[in-house]
């Protein structure tokens, strides 16, 4: 078990470079097996979710090298065999193999994916996409067996703009016959990244980044090179760290437009922030105003940033209201923040944060990835020592978090216990 110990109250200044996007990389890697030739992907973050996907690739028999953030995948030697429960349950993104294998081999056997326990997270919309394209879905004891004699383009209306269902449907549709239309598609930048990658391989996808995506299937996808976009959630997390403790903290190698919903809220609070072409410089401020926030699909306020933002809301004067509309159970960080001195009430899907309150270090638990990020940020602000337990969740999604924060002045260590 690993824990992170933080001595709070230190000013953060200098530069943090942002890594490749976790939620893009974890889709690009499974997508690569749709190719008939070698693909290379650059700017792969060094996080444990990538290691888990690598394990699946190796298990399937792909030839893989991963060095200095560049992964090369030769899918020609893949054997399409059942992916065991222990592997698929390590992360949510394992189910991108379900669609990639179905698209390529028209048969797949694997178990329900894992991921942070922040809500029920069913996969009905993904299965709806598969069925619309001609696959037969059998489920027994969380094991899915999918078969298709032929995959034929179809018209899919998603009940909600699900990131996973949009990507999964695209991955099958690129190898199906004819035209697939996905309506009410998710618009996240990671979806555009996956579509661009597939188009580089020879796929015919238009409309990615809008709510209607059109895919005309092709018989063959060839090798290609791509680079993962910067991680907007990692960027947002460090921008919030700067708003809490920064003195001209520079967050670099980002696409600021991807976190505009966050930066507009920070400006509304009164945060001192300067937005450049590919960087943001942010400093802490003693007087911040409360705000109201509602999480939404992109370009709305990202659910993945609501937990990291909460420590900053504790420093705003007045009552901030934050409504979580995507997940049913994404406030598990709140009781721990209250133990640190916050005054936060949970009212159904909304929290009310009364501020400003002083935060004091104590022992807390990272129940999930972004809850862990939240508690680390709170620890940077708090007086005394904060110990965040169960930080394996955090290491799944933040590359070199200890080094990145240490380099800008934080007193933070990772301990094996
Ligand atoms: N949903 C359904 N049925 C489905 C699919 C989704 O009811 O078939 C519901 C989910 O339960 C959830 C909502 O729709 O309440 C949104 O789910 P979505 O499918 O969009 O999320 P996801 O693809 O499972 C990805 C990211 C999440 C991020 C969400 C929303 C990956 C691997 N994960 O999840 O990232 O919160 O999109 O932007 O890409 C994280 O990084 O901390 C994280 C949880």
Tell how far the Cα of 359 is from the centroid of ligand 1, in angstroms: 31
Same domain, 244 and 373: yes
Domains in the chain, number: 2
Same domain, 74 and 178: yes
CA-CA distance, 155 to 172, in Å (whole number)? 13
Determine which helix (DSSP H) or strand (DSSP E) holds 242, and give its type and residue range: helix 232-245
Same domain, 9 and 35: no
Same domain, 196 and 340: no
> Helix (H, G, I), strand (E, B), or coil: what is residue 314?
coil
pLDDT in tens, 302-358: 999 999 999 999 999 999 999 999 999 999 999 999 999 999 999 999 999 999 999
Same domain, 279 and 135: no
CA-CA distance, 252 to 140, in Å (whole number)? 47
Our measurement of the distance from residue 86's CA atom to the centroid of its chain's CA atoms, rounded to an integer in Å, reads: 21
User: Among the atoms of ligand 1, which is closest to the Cα of residue 22?
Assistant: 41
pLDDT in tens, 243-255: 999 999 999 999 9
Q: At which of 192, 227, 262 does a domain end?
A: 227
- Best residue among 48, 53, 118, 160 to mutate for probing ligand 1's pocket (most ligand atoms within 8 Å of CB) is 160
Q: What's residue 286's pLDDT? A: 87
Q: At which of 176, 193, 227 does a domain end?
A: 227
Percent of the chain with pLDDT over 70: 100
Same domain, 198 and 271: no
Beta carbons of 12 and 410 less than 8 angstroms apart: yes
Q: Is the pLDDT of residue 150 over 90?
A: yes
Looking at the whole model, is its pTM more than 0.95?
Answer: yes
CA-CA distance, 93 to 116, in Å (whole number)? 11
Do β-strands 212-216 and 350-355 pair in parallel, antiparallel, or remain unpaired?
A: unpaired
Q: What's residue 404's pLDDT? A: 98
Beta carbons of 23 and 30 less than 8 angstroms apart: no
List Cα–Cα distances, 144 to 99, 148, 324, in angstroms: 12, 13, 30
Tell how far the Cα of 196 is from the centroid of ligand 1, in angstroms: 21
Same domain, 199 and 299: no
Q: At which of 227, 253, 269 does a domain end?
A: 227
Same domain, 332 and 382: yes
Beta carbons of 314 and 338 less than 8 angstroms apart: no
Kindly report the protein residue whose alpha carbon is nearest to atom 33 of ligand 1.
Answer: 23
Domain with 344, as residue range(s), is 2-18+230-416
How is residue 236 annotated by DSSP?
H
List Cα–Cα distances, 387 to 300, 309, 332, 392, 417, in angstroms: 32, 19, 16, 14, 12
Same domain, 284 and 167: no
CATH of the domain at 7: 3.65.10.10
pLDDT in tens, 169-205: 999 999 999 999 999 999 999 999 999 999 999 999 9
Give catalytic status of residue 116 as yes or no: yes
Kindly report the protein residue whose alpha carbon is nearest to atom 24 of ligand 1.
Answer: 164
Q: What is the residue-averaged pLDDT of the chain?
A: 97
Beta carbons of 280 and 239 less than 8 angstroms apart: yes
pLDDT in tens, 358-370: 999 999 999 999 9
Q: Is the pLDDT of residue 14 over 90?
A: yes
CA-CA distance, 34 to 62, in Å (whole number)? 12
Same domain, 6 and 36: no
How does 357-386 read in b/e, with b if 16+ C-beta sit within 10 Å? bebebbebbbbbbbbbbbbbbbbbbbeeeb
**303 touches ligand 1 (CB under 6 Å):** yes
CA-CA distance, 42 to 181, in Å (whole number)? 30
Same domain, 61 and 126: yes
Tell how far the Cα of 163 is from the centroid of ligand 1, in angstroms: 6
Beta carbons of 98 and 117 less than 8 angstroms apart: no
Kindly report the protein residue whose alpha carbon is nearest to atom 22 of ligand 1.
Answer: 164
Q: Is the peptide bond before 103 cis (omega within 30 degrees of 0)?
A: no
Q: What's residue 249's pLDDT? A: 98
Tell how far the Cα of 164 is from the centroid of ligand 1, in angstroms: 6
User: Among the atoms of ligand 1, which is closest to the Cα of residue 190?
Assistant: 39
As a whole number, mean pLDDT of residues 94-120 equals 94
CA-CA distance, 301 to 297, in Å (whole number)? 7
Same domain, 175 and 264: no
Determine which helix (DSSP H) or strand (DSSP E) holds 351, and give its type and residue range: strand 350-355
Q: Is the pLDDT of residue 120 over 90?
A: no
Question: Would you tell me the crossing angle of helices 232-245 and 260-269 to the nearest 10 degrees?
Answer: 10
């Amino acid at each position: 078990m690993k824990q992170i110990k933080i001595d709070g109250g230190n000013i953060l200044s200098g530069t943090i470079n942002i890594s490749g996007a976790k939620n893009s990389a974890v889709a690009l890697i499974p997508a690569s097996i749709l190719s008939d030739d070698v693909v290379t992907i650059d700017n792969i973050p060094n996080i444990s979710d990538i290691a888990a996907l690598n394990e699946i690739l190796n298990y399937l028999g792909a030839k893989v090298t991963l060095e200095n953030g560049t992964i090369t995948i030769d899918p020609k030697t893949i054997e399409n065999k059942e992916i065991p429960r222990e592997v698929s349950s390590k992360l949510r993104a394992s189910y991108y193999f379900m669609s990639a294998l179905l698209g390529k081999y028209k048969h797949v056997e694997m178990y329900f994916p894992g991921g942070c326990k922040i809500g029920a997270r069913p996969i009905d919309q993904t299965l709806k996409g598969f069925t619309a394209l001609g696959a037969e879905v059998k489920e027994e004891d969380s094991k899915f067996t999918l078969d298709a004699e032929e995959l034929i383009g179809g018209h899919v209306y998603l009940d909600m703009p699900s990131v996973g269902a949009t990507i999964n449907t695209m991955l099958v549709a690129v190898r199906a016959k004819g035209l697939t239309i996905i309506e009410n598609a998710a618009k996240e930048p990671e979806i555009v990244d996956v579509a661009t990658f597939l188009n580089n391989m020879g796929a015919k996808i238009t409309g990615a980044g809008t709510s209607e995506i059109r895919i005309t299937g092709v018989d063959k996808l060839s090798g290609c090179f791509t680079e993962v976009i910067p991680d907007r959630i990692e960027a947002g997390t460090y921008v919030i760290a700067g708003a809490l403790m920064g003195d001209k903290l520079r967050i670099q190698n980002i696409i600021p437009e991807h976190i505009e919903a966050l930066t507009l809220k920070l400006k509304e609070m009164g945060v001192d922030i300067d937005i450049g072409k590919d960087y943001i410089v942010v400093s802490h401020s003693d007087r911040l105003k409360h705000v109201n926030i509602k999480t939404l699909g992109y370009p709305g306020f990202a659910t993945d940033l609501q937990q990291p933002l909460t420590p900053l809301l504790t420093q705003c004067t007045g009552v901030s209201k934050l409504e979580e509309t995507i997940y049913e159970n994404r406030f598990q960080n709140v009781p721990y923040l209250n133990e640190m001195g916050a005054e936060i009430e949970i009212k159904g899907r909304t929290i009310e944060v009364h501020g400003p309150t002083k935060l004091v270090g104590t022992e807390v638990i990272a129940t999930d990835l972004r809850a862990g990020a939240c508690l680390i940020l709170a620890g940077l602000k708090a007086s005394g020592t904060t110990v965040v337990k169960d930080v394996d969740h955090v290491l799944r999604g933040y590359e070199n978090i200890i080094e990145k924060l240490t380099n800008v002045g934080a007193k933070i260590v990772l301990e094996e216990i």
